[in-house]
A and B are shown apart, each in its own frame.
Chain A
Amino acid sequence: MKKFIALMLCTVLCVSSLASCRRNESSNDPNTLKVAVLESAYGSEMWEKICDEFEKLNGGMTVELTAEKNLEDVIGAQMKGGDYPDVVHLATGREAALTETLIKDEALTDLTEVFEMTIPGEDTKVSDKLIPGFTDTLATNPYKDKKTYLAPMFYSPCGLFYDADLLEDNGWKVPESWDEMWELGDEAKKKGIYLFTYPTAGYFDAFIYALLAESGGIDFYNDVMNYKEAVWDTPEATRVLNIIKRLADYTEPTTVANSTGDNYLKNQQLVLDGKAIFMPNGTWVVGEMEDAPRREGFRWGFTALPAIEEDRYSFTFFEQCWIPKEAKNKTAAKEFIAFLYSDKAAEIFASYGAVQPISDITDSLDGDNKLFYSVYEDGAKAVMGGFAATEAVAGVSIYDTLFESINSIMTGDKTVDTWKNEIIAASDKLRDNLK
């Protein structure tokens, strides 16, 4: 009898082990829409409200929302098992690079028709509401086929953040050119204040994109983004690299040590403490440092990069929404994305500080957001997009080569020439693998 029980238990264990390995097949129910979103600084509550509104508008439709801070870990594992969400809100530029991987694998659905759709519950087309230019960038149209695969969502101007009160207290004005910037750096150094710091080297992406546009114009910027041959061997590119090199002399000395791992907040704190003046960042920094102690009288200031010649630029970072090619419910997914541009959805998003690239939306902003989003009204030009999609090239990353190397430039471990040669080598390899 004992043997029989033992055998039965063994059999149950074997069967349950096998059962747990069952492939998780995705639901094919046309009335269920699976939405996966990154729970960013805006929180997940706004997405719950959006899903409720969409369900109200589409009677019988059920939206299954997954909102996670580590979204890649959650949906990544499901996707490997063949269970794909229908709509994903996850921007490029994240460490796990899930969005970039799907772009490289051409695993996204063409969304071009979404922008010609009438917004559910309204009689306006999506494209009529969008601010022009947002769907003409490499961040939305990663291939050369002129089709849009990623819908632009919340945008944020990037530039230099500073303590406006610190500048006023010292009688300094915000530099409008790099010459004025260096002068301010020398002045500040006399008072023991450093001109510059940065959270991590990765924050130089928006900084360098804007600097490239300042140095050679938008066409030059696009050439760089498309890995045009010899583009890094031009005076315009060299000028950008030299500015970064010169910034090293004005950068707070503990910056590199704190720019690795999870210590980057200490660098942001330098600005709040009045130990460094400028840092490259995005509008999210205000929320991120909300509870941090700060210098008495501290007031956020924001400016586009100082001009190299005449034009000043501010890079516009925006998050993206997309549909995986393997999604089961693409029709409803497209409807959902179109709905995200509705007045109702925009109102919900804006109430949580998430600003969409919709015409006139900045009129409804107030406080710090009003200041940040008015940068383009104050004369700065916008630059958008990012590097063109390529096949994944083993061991080659333009982000590591171009941005991470800045830590070595700051410490003097790498010369500008070495840096430039490394960028050229990476750019050459990636050009051969352009999509």
Chain B
Amino acid sequence: MKKPRAFIFFCIAPALLLFLVFMVYPTISVFVMSLFKWGGYSTSRAFVGIDNFKALLSDTRFIGSFKNTVILLVLVTAFTLVAALWCANTLTRENIKAKGLFRVIFYIPNILSAVVIAAIFSAIYDPSSGLANSFLSLMGISPVMWLGNRDIVIFSIAIAMIWQATGYYMVMYMSSMAAIPESLYEASDIEGASRSSKFFKITLPLIWTNLRTTLTFFIISSINISFLLVRAMTGGGPDGASEVFLSYMYDQAYTNSSYGYGMAIGVVIFVFSFTLSAIVNLITKREPVEL
């Protein structure tokens, strides 16, 4: 019995080692560095305990970035989920011509890099010649400063994120929907079920496990993609109005030479995303429907 165990150990050792070196060690390092006052480059660092975390509580820009991240998480998850489910259901269940073409078109935004998406939306939001304001002027509405207005800049970023993510989640939901036996829908047709009944009573329960998994993806990807889009489209501006978790962390760790403080923000992001994922996982827990 001993030999196979040793063999298994040696087989998983490389992956385990890489996991420990590149995942566990850096994560622990972030927690350790958050307790220091350190610029990040020099050898001098001072232990400050939980001072960095105390400073976070009174940092209005951090609170603003927290608020923006939550707005993006809620908006992007809600709208993308609904849009992706609707598109997936329509393309799977309805008799539409050129389904494959639509599937490709919806998926294209997902293969574009965040920088390209930022460039596309910067052009759309251009105050003088952008698509968005040209459309508004057709309806007689005066131009909107999509990226220059503190009150709407975060929603402008949310729209870009929803556009980017819908296709990806649509394909994920479509793969689950394709696995639902056609006989269930045929039976419901005989029973006289409406489209909405079929969606809520057959489709949704049967893709629930997949949907739950994507909710965790939404949390992680919203935090990551928002950083990339904010960096490229607004740089956190105007005047910090579109700052999100990671952009503020970068700003503090590098531009403000407060690496330890930046790592404290990193710890908050880690704990926040972990806790939120756990809560979402808990409240969406259902007995899996077995066919």
Same complex for A and B? Answer yes
Report the stretch among B14-22, B66-74, B202-210 that lies at the interface: B14-22
Q: In the complex, A96 Cα to B119 Cα: how many Å?
A: 22
With A261-B122, A404-B239 already in contact, the answer to whether A104 and B39 are too (CB < 8 A) is yes
Q: Is the CB of B147 within 8 A of A257?
A: yes
Please give the distance in Å from A151's CB to the nearest CB on chain B.
Answer: 19
Given A97-B256, A404-B240: A392 and B37 interface contact (C-beta under 8 Å): yes
Distance to closest chain B CB from A93 (angstroms)? 10
Tally chain A residues at the interface, Cβ within 8 Å: 57
Whether A262 touches B232, Cβ cut-off 8 Å, given contacts A201-B239, A397-B256, is yes
Q: Are A11 and B237 in contact (CB under 8 A)?
A: no
B residues less than 8 Å from A254 (CB atoms) = 127-128, 145, 148
Size of chain B's interface in residues, with CB distance under 8 A? 56
The answer to whether B258 touches A11, judged by C-beta atoms less than 8 angstroms apart, is: no
Interface residue? A17 (CB, 8 A): yes
- Given the interface contacts A17-B17, A392-B257, A395-B55, does A256 sit within 8 Å of B238 by beta carbon? yes
Q: Tell me the complex Cα distance, A325–B62, Å.
A: 33
Per the bound structure, the CA–CA distance linking A72 and B254 in Å amounts to 10
Residues of B within 8 A of A404 (CB): 237-240
A residues within 8 A CB of B59? 394-395
**Chain B stretch 1-52: residues in CB contact (< 8 A) with chain A:** 7, 10-11, 13-14, 17-18, 21, 37, 39-44, 52
What's the minimum C-beta distance from A280 to chain B, rounded to whole angstroms?
17
* A96 and B122 contacting across the interface, CB-CB below 8 Å: no
Q: Is A18 an interface residue (CB 8 A)?
A: yes
Is the beta-carbon distance between A257 and B127 smaller than 8 angstroms? yes
Binding site for A on B (CB under 8 A): 7, 10-11, 13-14, 17-18, 21, 37, 39-44, 52, 55-56, 58-59, 61-62, 118-119, 122, 125-128, 145-150, 153, 231-240, 242, 252, 254-261
A95 and B37 CA atoms in complex are apart in Å by 20
List A contacts of B256 (CB < 8 A).
Answer: 97, 392, 394-397
Residues of A contacting B11 with CB < 8 Å?
6, 10
Known: A96-B254, A256-B148, A262-B122. A101 touches B40 (CB 8 A): yes
The answer to whether A98 touches B41 (Cβ under 8 A) is yes
A1 touches B (CB below 8 Å): no
10 contacts between A and B (CB under 8 A): A11-B10, A104-B39, A105-B39, A106-B42, A106-B44, A258-B126, A262-B232, A394-B256, A395-B62, A411-B238
